[in-house]
Every structure is written in structure tokens, then in C-alpha cells.
Amino acid sequence: MVKKQSSMVLDMRTMFHCSIVMLFLGGLATLSFYGNYNQELVSSNIEVTLSTTTTTTTITSKSNSDTADIDTNNETNTNTNKAAQVFDHQRRLKIASPSITETCDFFSGQWVYDNKSHYPLYKEDECPFLHGDLACQTYGRKDSKYQRWRWQPHGCDFPRFDGKAVVERLKGKRLLFVGDSVNRNQWDSMMCMLYSAIPGEKKLGVGLNRTLYTFRANDYNISVDYYWAPMLVESNGDDPSNHRLDHRTIRVKSIEKHARHWVNADILVFNTYLWWRLPIIKLLKGPGSLLGGPNQVYDEIDNVRAYKMVLETWSKWVHTNIDPAKTKMFFMGLTATHSNAMDWGGKKQQTCYKEKEPVMVDGFWESGTDPKMLRILESSLSKLKAKGVNVQLLNITQLTQYRKDAHPTVHRRLWRPLSEEQKKNPQRASDCTHWCLPGVPDIWNELLLAYIFPTTESASQ
């Protein structure tokens, strides 16, 4: 009986010791797994920086001040160029709960007149850095109803602009708009939206031969920039002052001249469309001048094919140089150009001049917007997403179609005086491409901010 009890005790001790050994080995295996996993995450945290030297003109503005001081200084980024990296775009952690941007289609909706809402988001004369091309009230527009329309998605809502909250979340970040003058229009809007929300000193800098505009709030280390690259690749429109030409010439695979100035942004917002509306695009084949000359050798192709080729060049650059784990990327949809009043039942030869109401026909589409271009853009972004790079399309195309009332027309700073013929026919001299501020681009930025800082509930909730 004693021997049997001793045997049972021995067996229990053996089982106990075996359990301890198994637990110890299991713990080592778990630590090894998580150690390797974390090492993989750290090794994928690649940074691309850039070295540039610019001469910058700086306009300084302080809160509660009606004056601006102008001075000139040299700014040098001390970051150094690194070789282009190919990122492992497929390895990404999933974030749990869906945000309002995933459950709400922000781009299907209608414009609602709402003079009780918080629109306009700012006053024109309270934004000292606003370009005169967009300051419609300053240049003679009498009506202001265009400032008070609210975009209302069907069946849901999006977070409305909260300046203080946005400023806090933009601390330490560089937000960069890249593209043509419509993207500059959106940058102007964002700058004015943030201007009154950021306390302390704000500065506007202009550099890189006037291709780069920088709005800085030093106290918060916020930079909201705009880079002029109307066709993304090198083109005969690269000079922001001398580009009023009757043709478009590009180097279809040359993007680095511009793109090297984009890599250190935390948020990138691209657009390109307006400059592709001419039917023929010239592809420069040799080293000749983009502005023309006797030795220029080029191919001529249709604009749709050229647009697709340039988006392929841009996509390759994004895939190679930008890590989406570090940089959020967005591409703005096409925007309407209301230059033919017959589209909405107006008379021949008339444009958006003196229009004061949006089009209220659901699904209205004006003749100046080519849907083939939108499909090419959607396809390009879809191919990038399949490779693990998410560039979010902000498809503002339809919501801009309705707003024939929101353009500067003749109420803007003119680069040259109107001729006598233009004065007699202001319809043809009207700008029906850009947008008065405050106005429609403020809505684009509210939608953009909803994607930059996604939430799990809408403002109405």
C-alpha cells in the first residue's frame, strides 16, 4: 500500500514538472513570434526625405492685425536625398471599426440652401492671403447667395468643419496640394478656413520660381502648401506666369523634376484635368525646349490617351516613392466648366455669367466635362489599390456639375484689362472654370478633412 502511494506521488510530481517545462517552452515560442513580428514592422518603417534650396518671399500676418509685412530670405532644407525605395505595400495592419467615410457615400446628394447653417465658413475680407482671382465680392459681385449652399449627401451626413479640432490634428504635419489652378483654388480655400482658427503668427511663403506656395503656422508647426504642376509631368505649362499657349507639350515620363518636392508631405492631394481638354497633346521625344523651337521633335496623340499615359507615369512614381503607411494620398475628381448655357436651358453664346442659382436637375452633366477622363482616373487608382497603395478618390465631379452660379465670371482680378469687345460681351470674358471663395471648394475641403481624419460617427450624431 505504501509503495502504491509513493508511485502515485511520483507520477504527480513528474506531471507537474512536465507541465512547467511545456509552459516555459510555449512562452519562449510566443516571445519569439512577437519579437520577429515587431521587427518586421520596424523594418518596413522607411523614410524618404529631400534636399532643396529655395529663395522664398514671405508675407507675414499676425492675428488681429490689418497689415502684412513682406521680406525675403533663403530657406534651406537640410534633409538629404535618398535612393528611391520600393515599399512592401501589401503588408498593412487592419483598423477595426468602420468610419463614416466607409458607410456614407458623400458624393451622391443635392445642394440645399441653408442660411441658418455655419456657411460661409469665413469672410472674404478676413482672409488676407486670398488670391484676387477668387475674391468675387472684392471685385464687384453683389449677390452672396452662392456662399450659403450646403451639400447634403443622400441618407447620411459628413462632419462639418471644426477649425479648432482640425488645427489640433494638423499639428506637426505638412499638407500639400499638387496640380493646376483648380487645386490652387482648393488650397486657397483651406488656407482661409484655417486662418481664423489658428491663433498667433501666420506666414505665406513663395519659392521655387513661384511654383511652391507655403502657408505656415509656426506655433503649431503646420504647413499647408500648394505646388504648381498642371499636368503632373514636365510640360510647357510649368511656368506659373507664362503658360497661356494654344497647345500642350509634355515629357510623358519625366515627373521627378516636380515630384522630388512632394516626398516629405504627410498628406498629398493631387489633381489634373483642365489642361487636358485640348484634343491634341504633343509628346516631346528629344531634349528640345518644351516651349518650342526649330529642333523640337514630338509625336502628337489624342488627349485621352496622353492623360492615361501620364497617370501611368504618376502611378509608378507613387508606388516607388511613397509609403502609404506614412503618407495619406488623395486625388480630386474632375470639376465642371460651365461655359455653355445651352446645357441647362440657356441661350446660345451664353455662359455662367450672371447665374445665381444651381441646376436642380438630378444627375445634370455639363458638356465640358469628359466622363472618359474620370473613368481613366478611377481605373488608375484601382490598379494602384490592387498593388497595396490606396489613393482615395474624392469624386467631387457630380456635385460641381450643379453649381453654375458659383464662378467668378468677370468679378476677379484681371491679368490684363478687358478689351472693348470683351466689355460689350462679358459672357465670353467670364471665368466659368474657377470658383468664388468662400464657396464650393470649402465643401471639397470639408469632405477631404473627413477622409484625412475619419471618425466613426457623423456630426449630426
- pLDDT tens for residues 294-344? 788 999 999 999 999 999 999 999 999 999 999 999 999 999 999 999 999
DSSP designation for 409: B
| 366-410 confidence digits (pLDDT tens) | 999 999 999 999 999 999 999 999 999 999 999 999 999 999 999
DSSP string, 22-65: HHHHHHHHHHHHHHHHHHHHHHT--------EEEEEEEEE-TT-
Domain boundaries, the chain: 117-452
Is the predicted pLDDT of residue 44 greater than 60, yes or no? no
| 224-274 confidence digits (pLDDT tens) | 999 999 999 999 999 998 888 889 999 999 999 999 999 999 999 999 999
The model scores a pTM over 0.85: no
| Burial grade of 422 (CB within 10 A; 0-12, 13-18, 19 or more) | middle
Bridge-partner residues for 216, per DSSP? 203, 223
Q: Which residues does the annotation mark as catalytic?
A: 181, 431, 434
Residue keyed to cell 481605373: 379
> Per CATH, which fold does 117-452 belong to?
Rossmann fold (3.40.50)
**Residues 134 and 435 sit within 8 Å (Cβ to Cβ):** yes
pLDDT confidence band for 86 (50 / 70 / 90): low
Bridge-partner residues for 151, per DSSP? 111
**H or E element at residue 250:** strand 248-250
CA distance 219 to 393: 32
pLDDT confidence band for 57 (50 / 70 / 90): low
**H or E element at residue 443:** helix 440-452
Q: What is the mean pLDDT of residues 56-70?
A: 45
Is the predicted pLDDT of residue 46 greater than 70, yes or no? no
| Burial grade of 362 (CB within 10 A; 0-12, 13-18, 19 or more) | exposed
CA distance 461 to 455: 11
Q: What is the mean pLDDT of residues 353-365?
A: 97
Is the predicted pLDDT of residue 62 greater than 80, yes or no? no
